[in-house]
Chains A and B, each alone.
Chain A
């Protein structure tokens, strides 16, 4: 019997590298959107901490514990990444599988911030956007989720269907920044 073959969103498109900045695809593992039911924010926070060692993130924040990461994802929404959610979380929040919905890439290198400055209006200075900070913003014409995962490293998420445009826009910015030397 034939088998279904999995394909990642940026298959065949990444990695790319220019001027010391590299863009590579990230396998984020499971991604689950969590949206607390009315009045369940506190119990959810407790349940999350007990199950995954991570509390509910403040707006614009992300956190990690072992393989598990939690990332603020807009009003009343967070993403649990890297691990499957404990089933008991469903008592406190709506859980929705998003593991195939997003193209997730990592931009690494000294000029990473300069590359992103071509594409997003976010203030990415370390004081304003330290490691762990996350934002829903725009990347050229796409809506995106941008997270600082290291001093010179960012994680960018866009709709899976836009992976090709994402890589194209990053490639143009990468070249332009590299050309300035």
Chain B
């Protein structure tokens, strides 16, 4: 119900929202949780395993119960905490893990079977038959136990990631964080102040404490205004710092306010990477529950949360409230309730020595033993010295003390220390380099201690960063001592919840200890305690205290489990923002891209590049028809193909020839200026890395080409070789792949086409096979190489990339006039297979120069990378699979790449494997399929009949082993 007091909500702005289809009202400033409480909605979800009805439990990101699905359709997001979901007009929320409805959940039957569903039940129950596990048991268990579900449709929402840098990152904008940011900001440091709440102030917004004689929230607002005015302080509200990483880097998730997120192009959430020289952790503390029978009933909640609802949002979850605790916060809660006009039925303090002046029914040294009321709390049982009292109540606020929010200090393997005085873990100094904890997350719980802790931490940081701290007066505030007497679990029958989100009870932890899962890490995995989305924020310390008790060890000896990032759930969509779909990688387009697309060419990806597959012409119905025509065009007339994607590396320097000799297996120092040579490059382990042609443009100037896919790898390799192996060599190199647009002009009429565009025509004498040199292309300085990947009389002509599109248009037009035209990757592939030229299908990383028949290219006159390793036994010889050509001879006239080879008559099983096919294509020139592949001792087996079996595609045929060069083995066409 809504209370008749102001709170921090704007009653002039009424908002409407729906929960499970019913319409409700709230105000600007409400969370979904406070609005549901205002509307007396008590049950907001069902528990994970037992499907027990659950209500709002906390007022922050640690909420274990009130998980809802927000939104509809593709963009709906499950498992959002109602306690941190800002209310906005038209919000649509759904409850989770119930069927058919929240009130009548059929799987609530699980609760009746609870005696059989304890920790580890499925390990014991569903042991056999083994094959039932995957098909039956697991899907069944997963359906019964769960949280919200994704829509299954691609999410159209926009997410963002971003980077920020600062001198000081202050995490948490409560009293400690505000003081730290104020001091650091005044000292002139770049400050980022991050807080997961929509406003600064932290607990000051939830309590009635005063700072410097005015309400805490007002003081917080005044300091915040000061910070905004400074200019060097950036306040990031709605931002949860989720992880601490190396080098002062922190991950943080920002939820944009609903009105901003609704704008066009705006993200819903932003994942920040914040780099900070120093960090002040002022994350506060989390209140912990007390375990007693049925403490998960809707209406049982944390005392600190109840104060927040009453003071900040002016709502009360109950009309007759009881308060139970083991520290003074229980009294503070009762006082706040009375001040707000809420009836307090009883105040129960577990400490026998406790006393109160409050006008309430008071129990000292008593404990709540049971909560009654299935659909919501109706009464509690209280064990006193004189017996059991039953008190009618619809809301119980409990406080088992506070745990410092030290999670981030443990993200780099730090472990916390146990403080017996606080009955809590406190962070260890230096656990994360550059990070200091201040305020409640360090165990300083009073407002005064938080204010002075924040100021002290900032002063130390300011000194370390070489700045001078300005004088700042410490505001006046309460400094009440923290008096607590530990109480983890009330003894008694029945189930007492520790982990509300994963339905883990005191019994489960004790069972784990009994079954010898006594290490805290084993207990966690056996019971699943702390493995829910809240990561055990509410249950960790209580569970290990129960475990310590069950195993007879102390709490420090038992230790904690490991806190890991992220502190709150982070959507993958936010971490990977911008990388959905085509955003996965940059797209690289050649200068001829648009022309090719306009010609109807389907584009295929080659690395990051897009290249035309084929250029369909009228009447051609299949790609094969186009490909066959393009192959014929090159063989009989002339074809044009964009080859700009091949890696081009400019190599210069006095030692450039020696460097290339070392890099390539064959000799380049002997290459004449104005000539091009094919080269083979090995990896250090002796296997083939890449191949390509290298042209000598000058005495100390070479232009190397690499295959499209290996361009980056070769560049990296060259850097490694130069920097680590031959640093004495005076050579430098740089990629010029993007500088030049380069086109292959191939076929008997290639020179005719070129002479139409070159300012000085060429002939065989002036420009023989493998010649290269500068040319003038219609007045533009270009380069010409007489090289051939098709086996035809062919050239590659290069111009600066700005002229690429224009030259491509022109070449295609000229070629078409001579019965030729553009050809794509399919034809290029068939042309090279006909010639037995290799690509990375053949030099796939496991083949040697010997395997591809190029061992003679490994020069005996010099050393080169990979030479020694290639000479190892087993990397050459008859047992190696060697490059061969294959032609089909059986009834099936088709070959497939990836098929394996077997001796005729041998069973097609792995043990009999003789090799495999790497490349195939239909040769229109020869009229049948051709294949390249590797066959054991293949070069000695030319002429042999062999069996091809493609186990994947279910194709089988026989084929003949032949020389891999199918067409024009003498190479006369390229030279002529």
Q: Which residues of A contact B (CB under 8 A)?
A: 1-9, 33, 35-38, 76-77, 94, 96-102, 117-118, 120-125, 128, 140-142, 158-165, 169, 172, 175-176, 178-181
Contact = CB atoms under 8 A, between A and B. Distances in A.
Interface stretch (B339-347, B582-590, B907-915): B582-590
A161 B578 contact: no
Given A100-B802, A123-B165, A164 B587 contact: yes
Nearest to A73: B734
Interface in B185-204: 190
Contact of B778 (A4, A179, A181): A4
A180 B260 contact: yes
B779 A4 contact: yes
Interface in B125-182: 158, 160-165
Given A4-B778, A101-B737, 5 more contacts: A3-B806, A37-B732, A100-B802, A101-B736, A142-B586
Contacts of B275: 121, 123
A116 B799 CA distance: 33
Contacts of B732: 35-37, 76-77, 94
The 4 nearest A-B residue pairs measured at CB: A175-B265, A179-B266, A94-B652, A35-B732
Contacts of B734: 33, 35, 77, 94, 96, 98
Nearest to B275: A123
A100 B801 contact: yes
Contacts of A1: 778
Contacts of A142: 586
Given A35-B652, A180-B266, A4 B806 contact: yes
A179 B265 contact: yes
B192 to A, nearest CB: 11
Given A4-B779, A120-B163, A179-B263, A99 B739 contact: yes
A169 B577 CA distance: 11
Interface in B331-387: none
B725 to A, nearest CB: 16
B587 A100 contact: no
A69 to B, nearest CB: 18
A176 B256 CA distance: 11
A4 B163 contact: no
10 contacts: A6-B802, A6-B803, A7-B806, A35-B732, A117-B164, A123-B165, A125-B165, A141-B583, A159-B738, A161-B609
A2 B814 CA distance: 11
A4 B807 contact: yes
A162 B587 contact: yes
B265 A118 contact: no
A172 B160 CA distance: 9
A3 B736 contact: no
Instruction: Indicate the member of B190, B738, B800, B804 with the most A CB atoms within 10 Å.
Output: B738
Nearest to B651: A94
A143 to B, nearest CB: 9
Contacts of B810: 2, 4
Contacts of A164: 587, 589
A178 B800 contact: no
B586 A141 contact: yes
Contact of A161 (B273, B738, B780, B807): B738
B589 A96 contact: no
Given A35-B734, A162-B587, A172-B578, A128 B165 contact: yes
B730 interface: yes
Nearest to B728: A38
A94 B803 CA distance: 25
Nearest to B165: A123
B738 A100 contact: yes
Nearest to A94: B652
B743 interface: no
B491 interface: no
A38 B658 CA distance: 15
B590 A161 contact: yes
A58 to B, nearest CB: 19
B665 interface: no
Given A76-B732, A96-B734, A165-B587, A101 B578 contact: no
Contacts of A37: 653-654, 730, 732
A165 B587 CA distance: 6
Contacts of B273: 121
B160 A176 contact: yes
B591 interface: yes
A4 B777 contact: yes
B740 A100 contact: yes
Nearest to B590: A161
Contacts of B652: 35, 94, 96
Contacts of A8: 802
A8 B738 CA distance: 13
A138 to B, nearest CB: 10
Contacts of A140: 578, 583, 586
A96 B601 CA distance: 34
B174 to A, nearest CB: 25
